[in-house]
Each structure stands twice: as C-alpha cells, then as structure tokens.
C-alpha cells in the first residue's frame, strides 16, 4: 500500500511558505529511500528530508560507513519516537524498541524491532541519534557541551560545562556559559571523552566525534560576537588573551549546522611575555660559557597543556660538583640568572650554593632543573633526574611507577629504562613536583635523537619490542632503543 504523508513543521503554514526554497521544510508526498526519525517526542510528524538520518563522520582511519546514519535533534520526554526505513520509494517499515543492548559511557543502545513500541528518553534535551542499519541498532546519546583545552580551567583533562541546552520550540538549540580563560587552544566537547563508540559488524566498534572545532582545516580564533560555523572533529580554536569569556553554541535543525561565538565580559587579560627559549650554561655543564643560544642542546623545554603551564621550563643534564652554572635567555639577555637573581629556590631541591655569583651543587650527577617565571617571580628547582616509562610497553599507565624508573649511569652520564615488557609504542617522561601531569613533559627517541613534546600535541609513535631498553644521553639529546 502506498503511504502518503503531509509534513507540516509546527503547523505554521506562513512559515512553511517562507521556507519553501529549502527541501527540508517542504510538503512531502513521496517518501524517498532512506532512514527517518519521527514521533511525538520530535518536531517531525513524518518521514521527510528534515527527519532523514545521514551518513555520519567517524573519528579514525575509516571516515564513514554507509550503514551508520545519524541525526542531531531535540527529544521530549513526554513523547516517543520511532525509526522508519524506506527500502524503496514509499516502501516504509517502522521500527521501535526491541530491547536494551547496553547503557554505558553516556550512550544508550537498543535493538530495532519492526512494529515494536516506540522509544522514549528520560528527559528533554538535545540528542545524537545514530542507527546502524546492518545491525538494526539505535544509539541515543545526550549532548551537553562544555569547553575543554589548554585555555580552560581544567586544561585538557576535562570540559567545563556550559549551561543545559535550551530549545526555542522552532529551529534552534542553544548552549551558553561563562568561564575564565587563559591564552591557548580549546574546543567544545560533550560526554567527558574524545568520542563514543558504536557497534558495527564483526563485533567491532567505530568511534564518533564528541567535539566541535574549527570549520576549516587549521587552528584559528573563534570570532567574537559573531556566530561562525563549527564542526565535529574540527581543529582547535585559539585565543591570545584571557579573561571571562561567555560562549554561545547553537544548532540549527533546518541547516543541520553548528555555530559558535564568544564575548569577553569586562577587559581582556593580556598574558605576560615569557622568553621563547632559555638555556643552561657554565663550567658545571657540557656547554661551557659559550653565549646562550649558540648550542642547541643547552636549550630548556616547555610544558605541554598550555594554561597555567606557560612560563615553566625544564631540562635534564649532568652537573659537575663545585662548578658554576647559570640559566639565561639567548645572548645573555634578560632573564640572566645567577645565584642572586633567583628569588626562590625549591625547598625540596638539592642545596644550590653561590659560586662567584653563579650557582653550584655539591655532588656530580644527572639533575632535572626546572625554572618557573610565572607570577612575576623567579623560582628554581634542581633535583636528581627521575625519568619513567609509561604505557602498555612498560606494563600499564600508572604514573611514577617504581618498576618503570630509569637507572642512572654516573660514568656514562646516561639514564636507562627497564626492559620493555611487551611490544607496542614507547612513551616516557620526566617527573617533577612542579610539572602537573606526565604528558606535560614527554619526549621520545627518533632514530638516535631525543625529541621533546614541549608545548605541542602528541608526538608521532615510536614502536618498541619486548626486551628492548631505552638509553638516554640528555647532554647532547641522543638516545638508543635496543
């Protein structure tokens, strides 16, 4: 039997007339092949282009699968909804709740069964509805955005929530919220993780995007006081100033587009200027008293994560007892730090003494030197170097695990890892009380060169084989994996 549907959004004929040039909101008499969402919980009274699910973007090597289709939409707890699958023109089968498959990690999964009772949600809200047509499964994911990134209060560790979404009962869903920002990168994200996983054939899963970034292909600032289009999985936004930001994120049901903007409440906070590079020099080091900046291996390293990590520098090196060293900007420019110029020494540091205006330590060895220039002061810490392995190749993801501590060879001036426990990608880091998290001070060996993450993103992977050891010679930034 041929099914005919009249699709009248909100039953507002003048509104429909104004939008007649958009196929999403026209009167529909023939149902095209596809997958549709409709019901009293939705704004869709029947199967039409506006209620059609479309192939979704995936986070991974496979960018999309034809059997995974989805739609972002508002759902009401007071109503219900069904999925319709049209296998041919006007050949429509309705599907309802065939039973719960799982409910975990902020996503509910149900089997789709023909002519079963419609589905429901527990509370009004904005949802991402994904259907796997091959498995006949539906995934219902609530979407409540927050802001995450180096520029935000929680850094990249978690999102700061925006207010719950509001719906104008017509076309637009809106999130708003205020938070204190610092210079750095950020994105909008929901669900507390980078992506959720949906079931696909063969017992496998596919990862969906839970973040919103730039619409283009590179990092750029979000526009102030003007909505600009953003997209799932896009590059980070950036800000060069801090202050109290008010964000607005919107989704338009007709265009199926996300848009966002920000405003600064009060005055923008201009961040302090820190040196681009700092260096360790002196008789106590392998670099002597050559002008800072002339020996690349003497350079200190920045922290990843942005935000409050900006203004901290670190380096591992061998220091000779009783000999002098300084920490300086390039070409002896400010800051040029001898003993008197350091305002505060770390109380947990080894004793650092005055040696003719320079600094000195009492015992030779491998040290981690950390410089903190934040808050208009100068703090220095010199502690015995502690480097740890991290990840599956070292037996797990526990921070500062004793079994993963690298061992110092005072004669060779190296640090060597324990043997890798399994094949996989090698990760390692320096541990220090002033460095908040392990990934803020990562590095790796590429060929025979130690390369540092500094204030960048994840480094490229470095594979290792069970039984191999990593040996690091920080004075010239060389290493080996064998």
Do 104 and 169 reside in the same domain of the chain? no
Do 112 and 28 reside in the same domain of the chain? yes
Q: The domain spanning residue 445 has which CATH number? A: 2.60.40.3610
Do 312 and 285 reside in the same domain of the chain? yes
Domain presence at residue 428: yes
Do 129 and 24 reside in the same domain of the chain? yes
pLDDT of 2 above 70: no
Last residue in a domain, options 142, 160, 180 = 142
151-168 tens-digit pLDDT: 999 988 899 999 999 999
Domain presence at residue 3: no
- Give the 3-state secondary structure of the chain: CCCCCCCCHHHCHHHHHHCCCCHHHCCCCCCCCEEEEECCCCCCCCCCHHHECEECCECCCCCCCCCEEEEEEEECCCCCEEEEEEEECCEEEEEEEEEEEEEECCEEEEEEEECCCCECCCCCEEEEEEEECCCCEEEEEECCCEEECCCCCCHHHCCEECCCCEECCCCEEEEEEEEEECCEEEEEECCCCCCEEEEEHHHEEEEECCEEEECCCCCEECCECCCEEEEECCCCEEECCEEEEEEEEEEECCCCEEEEEEEEEEEEECCCCCCCCEEEEECCCCCECCCCCCCHHHECEECCCCHHHCCEEEEEEEECCCCCEEEEEHHHCCCEECCCCCCEECCCCCCCEEECCEEECCCCEEEEEEEECHHHCCEEEEEECCEEEEEHHHCECCCCCHHHECEEECCCCEEECCCCCCCEECEEEECCCCCCCHHHHEEEEECCEEEECCCCCCCCCCEECCCCCEEEECCCCEEEEC
Domain presence at residue 28: yes
pLDDT of 18 above 50: no
Domain presence at residue 114: yes
Do 138 and 157 reside in the same domain of the chain? no
180-192 tens-digit pLDDT: 999 889 999 999 9
pLDDT of 229 above 80: yes
Do 294 and 259 reside in the same domain of the chain? no
Do 160 and 45 reside in the same domain of the chain? no
Do 260 and 301 reside in the same domain of the chain? no
Residue 71 in contact with residue 79, Cβ under 8 Å?
A: no
Domain presence at residue 46: yes
What is the pLDDT confidence band of residue 307, given thresholds at 50, 70 and 90? confident
Find all residues with CB under 8 Å of 270, minimum gap 6, and list them.
241, 242
Do 234 and 190 reside in the same domain of the chain? yes
Do 137 and 15 reside in the same domain of the chain? yes
Do 182 and 255 reside in the same domain of the chain? yes
Last residue in a domain, options 235, 269, 303 = 269
Residue 367 in contact with residue 385, Cβ under 8 Å?
A: yes
Listed residue (266, 271, 239) closest to 375, CA to CA: 271
265-290 tens-digit pLDDT: 999 998 888 999 999 999 999 999 99
Strands 407-409 and 414-416: antiparallel
Q: The domain spanning residue 319 has which CATH number? A: 2.60.40.3620
pLDDT of 12 above 50: no
The number of domains in the chain is: 4
Last residue in a domain, options 142, 161, 179 = 142
Do 25 and 138 reside in the same domain of the chain? yes
209-221 tens-digit pLDDT: 999 999 988 999 9
What percent of the chain stands above pLDDT 90?
86
pLDDT of 13 above 50: no
> Domain of 403?
387-481
Domain presence at residue 1: no
Domain presence at residue 4: no
Average pLDDT over residues 24-51: 86
pLDDT reported for residue 28: 64
What is the pLDDT confidence band of residue 26, given thresholds at 50, 70 and 90? low
Domain presence at residue 440: yes
């Amino acid at each position: 039997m041929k099914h005919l549907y009249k699709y009248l959004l909100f039953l507002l004929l003048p509104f429909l007339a104004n939008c007649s040039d958009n196929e999403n909101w026209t009167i529909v008499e023939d149902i095209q092949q596809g997958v549709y969402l409709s019901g009293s919980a939705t704004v869709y009274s029947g199967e039409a282009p506006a209620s059609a699910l479309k192939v979704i973007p995936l986070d991974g090597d496979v960018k999309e699968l034809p059997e995974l289709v989805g739609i972002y939409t508002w759902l009401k707890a007071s109503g219900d909804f069904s999925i319709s699958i049209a296998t041919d023109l006007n050949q429509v089968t309705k599907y309802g709740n065939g039973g719960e498959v799982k409910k975990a990690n902020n996503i509910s999964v149900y089997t789709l069964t023909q002519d079963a009772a419609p589905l429901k949600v527990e509370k009004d809200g904005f949802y991402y509805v994904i259907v796997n047509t091959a498995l006949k499964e539906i995934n219902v994911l609530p979407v409540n955005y927050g802001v995450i990134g180096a520029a935000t209060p929680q850094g990249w560790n978690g999102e700061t929530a925006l207010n719950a979404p509001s719906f104008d009962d017509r076309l637009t869903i809106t999130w708003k919220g205020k938070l204190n920002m610092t210079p750095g990168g950020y994105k909008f994200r929901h669900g507390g993780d980078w992506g959720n996983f949906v079931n696909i054939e063969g017992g496998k899963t596919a990862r969906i995007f839970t973040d919103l970034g730039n619409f283009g292909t590179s990092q750029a600032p979000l526009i102030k006081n003007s909505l600009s289009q953003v997209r799932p999985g896009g590059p980070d936004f950036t800000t060069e100033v801090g202050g109290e930001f008010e964000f607005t994120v919107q989704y338009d049901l007709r265009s199926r587009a996300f848009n966002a903007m920000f405003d600064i409440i009060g005055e923008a906070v201009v961040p302090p200027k820190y040196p681009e590079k700092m260096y360790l020099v002196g008789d106590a080091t392998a670099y002597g008293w050559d002008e800072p900046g002339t020996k690349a291996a003497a350079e200190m390293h920045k922290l990843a994560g942005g935000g409050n990590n900006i203004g901290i520098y670190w380096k591992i090196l061998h220091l000779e007892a009783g000999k002098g060293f300084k920490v300086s900007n390039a070409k002896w420019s400010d800051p040029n730090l001898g003993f008197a110029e350091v305002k505060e020494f770390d109380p947990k540091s080894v004793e650092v003494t005055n040696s003719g205006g320079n600094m000195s330590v009492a015992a030779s060895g491998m040290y981690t030197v950390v410089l903190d220039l934040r808050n208009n002061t100068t703090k220095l810490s010199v502690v015995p170097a502690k480097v740890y392995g991290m990840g599956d190749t070292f037996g797990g993801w526990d921070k500062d695990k004793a079994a993963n501590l690298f061992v110092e060879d005072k004669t060779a001036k190296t640090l060597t890892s324990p043997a890798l426990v399994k094949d996989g990608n090698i990760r390692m880091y320096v541990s220090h009380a002033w460095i908040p998290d392990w990934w803020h001070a990562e590095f790796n060996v590429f060929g025979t060169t130690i390369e540092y993450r500094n204030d960048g993103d994840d480094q490229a992977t470095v594979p290792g084989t069970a039984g191999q050891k990593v040996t690091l010679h920080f004075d010239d930034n060389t290493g080996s994996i064998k």
